[in-house]
Amino acid sequence: MADQELLNLVQSKAKTWLESSIDPESKKEIEKLIQNDEYELIESFYKDLEFGTGGLRGIMGIGTNRMNIYTVGMATQGLSNYLKQQFGGQEIRVAIAHDSRNNSRLFAEKTASVFSANGIKVFLFEDLRPTPELSFAIRYLGCQSGVVVTASHNPKEYNGYKVYWEDGGQIISPHDKNIITEVQKIKDVGEIKFDDQLGNVEIIGGKIDVEYLNELVKLSLNPQVINKQKDLKIVFTPIHGTGVELVPKALKAYGFENVIVVGEQKKPDGNFPTVKSPNPEEPAALELALQQAKQINADIVMATDPDADRVGIAIKDNKSEFILLNGNQAAALLINYLISQWNSTGKLKGKEYIVKTIVTSELLKDIADKYNVECYDVLTGFKYIADIIKNKEGEMKFIGGGEESYGYLAGEFVRDKDAVMSCALLAETAAWAKENGKTLYEELIDIYIEFGLYKEKLISIVKKGKSGAEEIQKMMDDFRNSPPETINGSNVMLIHDFQKQKTFDQMSHLRYDINLPKSNVLQFILKDGSKISIRPSGTEPKIKFYFGVKDQLDKRENFDKINDLLEKKIENIIKSLGLK
């Protein structure tokens, strides 16, 4: 689209909003953009926010491409219309939660207002709550849908709106596309119904907390071990988010009595004043927690993101220095603990399974294979793990699952990644290791000795705005249409194209079907066993490259040497792809 054509489209959309029934303050903001900021006007109106892998998410502000009460209202009106189509003739019930971000309470109340105006029964949490508790509440309260207002670990400028279905999992096809279709039918913000009296809204809170924690405690596999190690030193930070209440309560319910919450990051605050980004995947977000952990010689450090569905973990290495675990390492520790303890307590009956995403370490599958536990691979996004749980319910037993992006789950009462649960179970894993005379670090090294030293790395290339989205798409097109024959001197043996739903065998030239939904993801499997995955982020202006390599490890003393060799191998792969 030519620049002038795009500007004309944007100005037309902005004018439509100006002539609508939006509030005077919002109209002033639009007029200011028209007069003074053409770039921001384009960014705010050049497209409509869409449901991606995480639902509706974007920078807060006025416009069709921004998070505001009107885009939230349109999404909720479209969702209301769809719910009436799907569940007409019965009482429709929804649950709503929100995190600590700026405007989250406002957006949650506006969401409740639109549902209420459409005759839908609403259960609105009284205050901020973790995303996994919303998933739990949907099934506990017999709801058909749910919404959590959050932008997860995005920077403070963002907010979002994640939609859940009656199984407690995030929406997947065809519901996601059908809801968007309903939203797109709404051409004017005046079509949004609001109920300022909130006549169909019931405030919920403490009772759901108790029921959720009761279920969480049932997951504990070794309460007697925790009782012996109840003084395990745990430093926790909610990074100004929703984990501040339930994570300490969950740890206490498990039996841990020595939990220190980082005071500077305890207060919920949407500006996240002590961090550049509230993302537990980034070392800087754990800096204050690590300082405190060093002062008291803690055993483990935990940090949850603003909506408490992801957790970052730090442990001490063999030099008693704190190191950050990546998502694959934490997942390996957790899954190995869960399956091994299910096995030792006689809970494995031959119908158990775990789930991981296609970009998560193959180490999880190796662990499952040892115990004859089925391992399912799904596309990136925890909603696909939830879908497997739903489809296997009553037939097989879900032990646990995870993804490399710091999200994990055990049991079946929650259908999304759960950092509250993960904190409790990883603390139990640490207690179990300590009871057996090992640190978590030594436990991880022993897992590598048994299954091989897997090393993974993720790099993200940020490309903001409309031009950035076009650059990301061109990169995907280039890798898809002109794939490399060799990477770092190793032949590309297999190409998994999840958009074409085909695997291409580069040696035999045969093609195989991929039985997963379409997704814009490419994977290259090399002759030396290396795995490279490429995908645009569904929630951020990024293209992500995942690297996985492996070598054998014979003893603990050789870990640093083999680890360094694998690090160099990944760096050479990155250079080979022209990314550095």
Mean pLDDT by 10 residues, the chain (580 residues): 80 92 95 93 89 75 95 94 95 98 98 98 98 98 98 93 96 87 86 96 98 98 98 98 98 98 98 96 96 98 98 96 97 98 97 98 98 97 95 97 97 98 98 98 98 96 89 96 96 98 96 95 96 88 95 97 98 94
Cα 206 to Cα 548: distance, rounded to the nearest angstrom: 43
* Distances 199 to 103, 114, 133, 149, 375 between C-alpha atoms, Å: 22, 11, 24, 21, 46
Helix (H) or strand (E) holding 526: strand 522-526
For the segment(s) 211-451, the CATH number from 2.60.200.20, 3.40.120.10, 3.40.50.2020, 3.40.50.12780 is 3.40.120.10
Task: Extract the tokens encoding 299.
Answer: 């055993």
Q: For residue 241, what are its two tokens? A: 């988010």
pLDDT at 48: 83
Q: What is the pLDDT of residue 142?
A: 98
Could you tell me the fold of the domain covering 69-204? Alpha-D-Glucose-1,6-Bisphosphate; Chain A, domain 3 (3.40.120)
CA–CA distance, 201 with 95 (Å, rounded to integer): 10
Side chain identity at 246, as an amino acid letter? L
Question: Which positions ≥6 away from 115 have C-beta within 8 Å?
Answer: 76, 80, 94, 96, 122, 200, 201
Predicted pLDDT of residue 312: 98
What was the pLDDT predicted at 319?
94
What's the pLDDT at 53?
A: 52
Q: Do 79 and 162 form a contact (C-beta atoms < 8 A)? A: no
Topology agreement, domain 69-204 and domain 455-576:
no
The pLDDT, as a whole number, for residue 51 is 63
pTM score of the predicted model: 0.95
> Tokens in use for 374?
């089925």
In whole angstroms, what is the distance from residue 121 CA to residue 142 CA? 11
Contact 419, 173 (CB under 8 A): no
Over residues 189-221, the pLDDT tens digits come to 999 999 999 999 999 999 999 999 999 999 999
Map out the domains of the chain as residue ranges.
Answer: 69-204, 211-451, 455-576
- Residues taking part in catalysis: 152
Distance CA 327, CA 521 (A): 20
CA 96 distance to own-chain centroid? 18
Say how many C-beta atoms besides its own lie within 10 A of residue 193's C-beta: 16
**What is the predicted pLDDT for the residue at 1?**
45
Please give the Cα distance from 65 to 68 (Å, whole number). 9
**CATH level 2 (architecture), domain 455-576:** 2-Layer Sandwich (3.30)
The Cα 260–Cα 239 span in angstroms is 14
Tokens 């065998």 found at: 505
